[in-house]
Structure 1
Amino acid sequence: MEHRIARKLACIERSATMALADRARSLKESGRKVINLAGGDPHFATPGHVVDAARGALDEGFTHYTSSRGLPDLRAAVADRLRCRSDVTRDPEHEIVITPSAKHAVFVSLMAVLDPGDEVLIPTPSWVSYGQMVRLAGAKPVSVPLCADDGFVLSRELLEARLTRKTKAIVLNSPTNPTGRVLRAPELRDVAEFSADHDLVVISDEIYEDIVFDGNRHHSPSEYPECTERTLTVSGFSKSYAMTGWRLGYVSGPQKLMQAVLKVQEHSVGEAGSFIQRGGVAALTGDQSPVLHMVEQYHHHREWAHTALRQVPGIECALPEGTFYIFPDISRLGFSDSYACAQWLIEEAGVVVTPGSAFGPGGEGHIRLSLAASTATVEAGVSQLSDVLSALD
Structure 2
Amino acid sequence: MALSEKLDSIPPSLIRRFFDLASSMKDIISLSIGEPDFDTPQHIKEYAKEGLDKGYTHYGPNIGLYMLREAIAEKLRRDNNIDIDPEKEIIITVGANMPILMGLATFLREGEEVLIPEPVFVSYAPAVILAGGKPVMVPTREEEEFKPRNEDLKNYVSEKTRALIINTPNNPTGTVYTRKDLEEIADFAVEHDLMIISDEVYEYIVYDGFKHISIASLNGLFERTITVNGFSKTFAMTGWRIGFAVAPSWVIEKMVKLHMYTVTCPVTFIQYAVAKALRDKRSWDAVENMRREYQRRRDLVWKRINEIGLSAFKPKGAFYIFPNIRNTGLKSMMFSEKLLREAKVAVVPGIAFGKEYDQYIRISYAVKYEKLNEALDRIEDFLRNKGMI
What is the alpha-carbon distance in structure 1 between the residues aligned to residue 257 and residue 21 of structure 2?
A: 36
Counterpart for residue 20 of structure 2: 22
Counterpart for residue 306 of structure 1: 302
Q: Offset at 1:239? A: 0.5
User: Which of 347, 351, 371 pairs up with 1:357?
Assistant: 351
What is the alpha-carbon distance in structure 1 between the residues aligned to residue 289 and residue 318 of structure 2?
A: 14
Counterpart for residue 105 of structure 2: 111
User: Which of 318, 321, 324 pairs up with 1:323?
Assistant: 318
The yes-or-no answer on 1:212 pairing with 2:206 is: yes
Alignment-mate amino acid for residue 330 of structure 1? I
What is the alpha-carbon distance in structure 2 between the residues aligned to residue 19 and residue 275 of structure 1?
A: 33
The yes-or-no answer on 1:294 pairing with 2:290 is: yes
Q: Offset at 1:20? A: 2.0
Provide the secondary structure at the position in 2 that maps to 1:226. Answer: coil
Q: Offset at 1:5? A: 8.9
Alignment-mate amino acid for residue 331 of structure 1? R
Counterpart for residue 39 of structure 2: 45
Counterpart for residue 85 of structure 2: 91
Counterpart for residue 244 of structure 2: 250
Equivalent positions of 1:121-270 (< 5 A) are: 121-270=115-264
Segments of 5+ residues of structure 2 without an aligned counterpart are none
Moved more, 160-169 or 360-369: 360-369
Provide the secondary structure at the position in 1 that maps to 2:11. Answer: coil
Please report the TM-score for the alignment, with normalisation by the length of structure 1: 0.95
Identity %: 38
Q: Is the 8 Å Cα contact of residues 234 and 251 (structure 1) preserved in structure 2?
A: yes
What is the alpha-carbon distance in structure 2 between the residues aligned to residue 270 and residue 330 of structure 1?
A: 45
Write the deviation string for residues 41-92 of structure 1: whole angstroms up to 9, x where unpaired.
1111101111001011122332110001111110011111111122111100
Alignment-mate amino acid for residue 373 of structure 1? V
Q: Is the 8 Å Cα contact of residues 3 and 130 (structure 2) preserved in structure 1?
A: no
Alignment-mate amino acid for residue 73 of structure 2? A
Provide the secondary structure at the position in 2 that maps to 1:85. Answer: helix
Moved more, 50-59 or 205-214: 50-59
Q: Is the 8 Å Cα contact of residues 41 and 244 (structure 1) preserved in structure 2?
A: yes
What RMSD over aligned residues (CA atoms) do the two structures have, in Å?
A: 1.4
User: Which of 76, 82, 87 pairs up with 2:76?
Assistant: 82
Counterpart for residue 7 of structure 1: 5
Q: Is the 8 Å Cα contact of residues 143 and 361 (structure 1) preserved in structure 2?
A: no
What is the alpha-carbon distance in structure 2 between the residues aligned to residue 294 and residue 222 of structure 1?
A: 26
What is the alpha-carbon distance in structure 1 between the residues aligned to residue 111 and residue 4 of structure 2?
A: 17
Provide the secondary structure at the position in 2 that maps to 1:79. Answer: helix
Write the deviation string for residues 331-373 of structure 1: whole angstroms up to 9, x where unpaired.
12110x1111110100111000001100014432110010111
Aligned length: 384
Alignment-mate amino acid for residue 176 of structure 1? N
Segments of 5+ residues of structure 1 without an aligned counterpart are none
Q: Is the 8 Å Cα contact of residues 181 and 320 (structure 1) preserved in structure 2?
A: yes
The structure-2 alpha-carbon separation of the partners of 1:205 and 1:59, relative to structure 1 and needing over 3 Å to count, comes to same
What is the alpha-carbon distance in structure 1 between the residues aligned to residue 100 and residue 384 of structure 2?
A: 40
Q: Is the 8 Å Cα contact of residues 193 and 226 (structure 1) preserved in structure 2?
A: no
Provide the secondary structure at the position in 2 that maps to 1:386. Answer: helix
Alignment-mate amino acid for residue 14 of structure 2? A
Provide the secondary structure at the position in 1 that maps to 2:83. Answer: coil
The structure-2 alpha-carbon separation of the partners of 1:105 and 1:214, relative to structure 1 and needing over 3 Å to count, comes to same
Provide the secondary structure at the position in 2 that maps to 1:232. Answer: strand
Q: Offset at 1:376? A: 2.1
Q: Is the 8 Å Cα contact of residues 98 and 272 (structure 1) preserved in structure 2?
A: yes
Q: Is the 8 Å Cα contact of residues 47 and 277 (structure 2) preserved in structure 1?
A: no
> Which contiguous aligned blocks of 4+ residues in structure 1 show a shift greater than 4 angstroms?
none
Please report the TM-score for the alignment, with normalisation by the length of structure 2: 0.96
What is the alpha-carbon distance in structure 1 between the residues aligned to residue 377 and residue 287 of structure 2?
A: 27
What is the alpha-carbon distance in structure 1 between the residues aligned to residue 129 and residue 3 of structure 2?
A: 15
Q: Is the 8 Å Cα contact of residues 145 and 361 (structure 1) preserved in structure 2?
A: no
What is the alpha-carbon distance in structure 2 between the residues aligned to residue 93 and residue 18 of structure 1?
A: 37
Alignment-mate amino acid for residue 295 of structure 2? H
What is the alpha-carbon distance in structure 1 between the residues aligned to residue 186 and residue 371 of structure 2?
A: 41
Q: Offset at 1:386? A: 2.2
